[in-house]
Chain A
Amino acid sequence: MRRLAAVWHSTLGRHLLVTAAAVLVVVLVVESVDDFRAVQLTQMAYLGIAAGGLTVLTGLNGQISLGHGALMAVGAYTTALLVSDDPVLPLPVALLTATAVTSAVGVVIGAAAARLRGPYLAGATLALAVALPGVALHFGETLGGEQGLRLRVPETPGWVLDAAYFVTAHDLTRSKYVAYLAWFTLVVVYLLLANLARSRVGRRWRAVRDDEVAAELAGIHLGRARVSAFVVSAAAAGAGGAVMALAVRLTAPTGFTLTLSLTLLTAVVLGGLGSLTGALAGAALLTFLPSVITDAGTSAGLDDIRAAELAPLVYGVVMVAVVLLAPRGLVGTLHAGWRRLRNPAVTPDPTTSADAASPGATVATSKGDTR
């Protein structure tokens, strides 16, 4: 027992324990649901992966990006191009390549973004999000144009089928295979992000976010810290996009509109900036709540198309309310409330804990006022 406590007290040990538990939960959950829910879970996973990247960028480094939908598009198109080729690459290789390509794009965008602040950065990344679908249309011959690229998920490898049968005692369907792939990717990405956030790199990101001058005096290269945060975040978005390509099986410009970028931002803000738990919670809300809200809308007498728009309406209102009333996001607010319940004497200081592992980050973290 003492040894377990020792493992728990080291950051890596704790993260690995949580990872092992997460893998177990993933297997249990995916096995206990039907194929339809498995597809929904896959959607939650790819939103969660990309939102995890965004929350690290915005929450820990103070850079806002509306271009993560575009970065997901880079990952998705790379995957679609790689997987449609003969001979088919193994999926993990395709996922890794897509992540690497998106990281390379992230270096370019990050280098530009590192020089911009607040609204300028938001505007520039917004322009990216609006511009990128046009590129796919312009180079229609390679990128499929309006129709997009169809993707056939390759045969599940034999050893995976065997292993799955060995563990669960029934056959693995194609959608569950993709769900597993998505969730294991998510677990790996989150493990890496959580470790990075707790490491020297993460401390540098936070230092740059909180006070540029102090960070520079402490010997931190501001540009390098900003670009590295952007690249890590872009890599996560690329991995998310790659999983999305596998899940949706069609990579088309209409899937990567401004709405996707705004959706990611919503997930991150709802959960609480800087919190990976929050990003996952936000992704879950964005995946499972729409059908509930839409059903409520249709039973209230709206037609289907209008009822489908109720969900974004609710998110938007909640997002505005979160910024105005609970800038720590849902997870952050719950966490603070829980702490207050446990020891009422200490009033938590909102500025102290703003890291990925403990969800106490605030929206209002960027103190560097550069007007």
Chain B
Amino acid sequence: MQQLINTALGGLTLGMVYAAFALALVLIWRSTHVVNFAQAPMAMVTTFVALEIIDHGHSYWLGFAVALAAGLVLGAVVERVVVRPVEGGPEINAVILTLGLFIVLHALASVVFGNRYRSFPAAFGIRGIDVGGTTIALTGFGIFTILAVLAVMTLLVLLFRFTDLGLRMRAAAFNQEVARLLGVRVGRMLTLGWALAALVGSLSGLLIAGGSLVSPGYMDSVVVYGFVAAVLGGLDSPVGAVVGGLFLGLSLSFVSGYVGSQLVALAALAILMAVLFLRPDGLFAPARERRV
């Protein structure tokens, strides 16, 4: 029983992080129809930026804030400089481009920060909390993780639902031509979308890193889990991404706890294949109208 609860709690925390990462992928997919496979190394780079700041004796929170800001800038620069030319072109070019970026950022981080494992501090305790004499697997940092992701999601909902800027961003994503005719600076909106997505991605990178080891490759499997979570939700729906992330986090946690931790990635692959075969548009997509 205790193991069951602990596995579920671990899955919940992990699921929140996957949800954040999936949300970053969905934001980019909605605005530019590109799956950003370079999201993982982008988050890795900003996490290393935070680590450098913290290791130089500054506070955790300064590193945290700088990493998020760095994510914002990195996302904007990547969209404007590298991705803009392939937007709207053949899908395969965009895929290859983001993978090229994946390799570049990976190698760059290894050259600049070195490729050994380094430990990343956590802002809160990473020991389980005592409840009635038994220790459960929910840590202080885990609670912080859940709250941080929830806060970011709330802010995004507020931005998209209730602000003029959010409306313009949605218009640019929905129909570029019409949005442009109505006076929306579509290019800027796309850049902003990438920047916001990269910020959310950086947050997930920081949350995964907290209290564990980081190396240039530590986010590689997360890009797979984030992608699976996003596809679970339909790749198009922010709510779907969050639910997909939670579902995936829980499932993978149970696979890891009861079957074998090495098969986690295989389980993710199996879930992905099942979704793509049974409901290719994701669990949350509205039934698509089809001409008969």
B is bound to A: yes
| B111 contacts the other chain (CB 8 A) | yes
Inter-subunit contact A320/B107 (CB<8 Å): no
Inter-subunit contact B262/A64 (CB<8 Å): no
Inter-subunit contact B265/A269 (CB<8 Å): no
| A371 contacts the other chain (CB 8 A) | yes
Taking CB atoms, residues of chain B closer than 8 Å to A320 are 82, 97, 100-101, 104
Which of A64, A127, A315, A371 is close to B272, meaning CB atoms less than 8 Å apart?
A127
With the chains together, A58 CA to B37 CA distance in Å? Answer: 18
| A144 contacts the other chain (CB 8 A) | no
With the chains together, A327 CA to B89 CA distance in Å? Answer: 12
Q: Report B69 CB to chain A, min CB distance, Å.
A: 24
Q: How many A-B residue pairs have CB under 8 A?
A: 156
Inter-subunit contact B115/A305 (CB<8 Å): yes
Inter-subunit contact B93/A363 (CB<8 Å): yes
| B59 contacts the other chain (CB 8 A) | no
Inter-subunit contact A126/B37 (CB<8 Å): yes
Taking CB atoms, residues of chain B closer than 8 Å to A135 are 262-263, 266
| A118 contacts the other chain (CB 8 A) | yes
With the chains together, A269 CA to B37 CA distance in Å? Answer: 17
Taking CB atoms, residues of chain B closer than 8 Å to A134 are 262-266
With the chains together, A131 CA to B268 CA distance in Å? Answer: 8
| A309 contacts the other chain (CB 8 A) | yes
Inter-subunit contact A309/B231 (CB<8 Å): no
Binds A, one of B142-150, B167-175, B203-211, B222-230: B222-230
Which of A115, A130, A132, A323 is close to B96, meaning CB atoms less than 8 Å apart?
A323
Taking CB atoms, residues of chain A closer than 8 Å to B266 are 131-132, 134-135
Inter-subunit contact B91/A127 (CB<8 Å): no
Find residues 118-153 in chain A having any chain B CB closer than 8 Å to their own CB: 118-120, 122-124, 126-128, 130-132, 134-135, 137-138
Q: Report B264 CB to chain A, min CB distance, Å.
A: 7
With the chains together, A266 CA to B97 CA distance in Å? Answer: 11
**For this complex, into which size category does the number of interface residues on chain A fall?**
35 or more
Smallest CB gap from B112: residue in A: A306
With the chains together, A363 CA to B97 CA distance in Å? Answer: 11
Smallest CB gap from A139: residue in B: B262
Inter-subunit contact B276/A262 (CB<8 Å): no
| A302 contacts the other chain (CB 8 A) | yes
| B269 contacts the other chain (CB 8 A) | yes
Q: Report A246 CB to chain B, min CB distance, Å.
A: 26
| B273 contacts the other chain (CB 8 A) | yes
How many residues does chain B have at the interface if contact means C-beta atoms less than 8 Å apart? 50
With the chains together, A320 CA to B41 CA distance in Å? Answer: 15
Which of A123, A138, A312, A366 is close to B260, meaning CB atoms less than 8 Å apart?
A138
| B85 contacts the other chain (CB 8 A) | yes
Inter-subunit contact A126/B106 (CB<8 Å): no
Q: Report A303 CB to chain B, min CB distance, Å.
A: 9
Taking CB atoms, residues of chain B closer than 8 Å to A316 are 100-107
> Contacts A306-B111, A319-B96: A120 and B231 contacting too (C-beta < 8 A)?
yes
Find residues 18-71 in chain B having any chain A CB closer than 8 Å to their own CB: 33-35, 37
The CB with the most chain B CB atoms within 10 A, among A123, A258, A302, is that of A123
> Contacts A138-B260, A138-B263, A258-B220: A366 and B106 contacting too (C-beta < 8 A)?
no
Q: Report B100 CB to chain A, min CB distance, Å.
A: 4
| A317 contacts the other chain (CB 8 A) | yes
Inter-subunit contact A369/B91 (CB<8 Å): yes
Taking CB atoms, residues of chain B closer than 8 Å to A27 are none
Smallest CB gap from A266: residue in B: B103
| B221 contacts the other chain (CB 8 A) | yes
Taking CB atoms, residues of chain A closer than 8 Å to B110 are 305-306, 309, 312
Which of B91, B96, B106, B269 is close to A128, meaning CB atoms less than 8 Å apart?
B269
| B108 contacts the other chain (CB 8 A) | yes
Taking CB atoms, residues of chain B closer than 8 Å to A115 are 276-277, 280
Which of A62, A262, A327 is close to B99, meaning CB atoms less than 8 Å apart?
A262
Would you mind naming 16 contact pairs between A and B with Cβ atoms under 8 Å apart? A66-B99, A124-B272, A126-B227, A128-B269, A130-B221, A131-B224, A135-B266, A262-B102, A305-B115, A320-B97, A320-B100, A320-B104, A323-B96, A324-B82, A324-B97, A363-B96
Q: What 6 A-B pairs have minimum CB-CB distances, sorted nearest first?
A: A118-B91, A316-B103, A316-B104, A313-B107, A319-B100, A309-B110
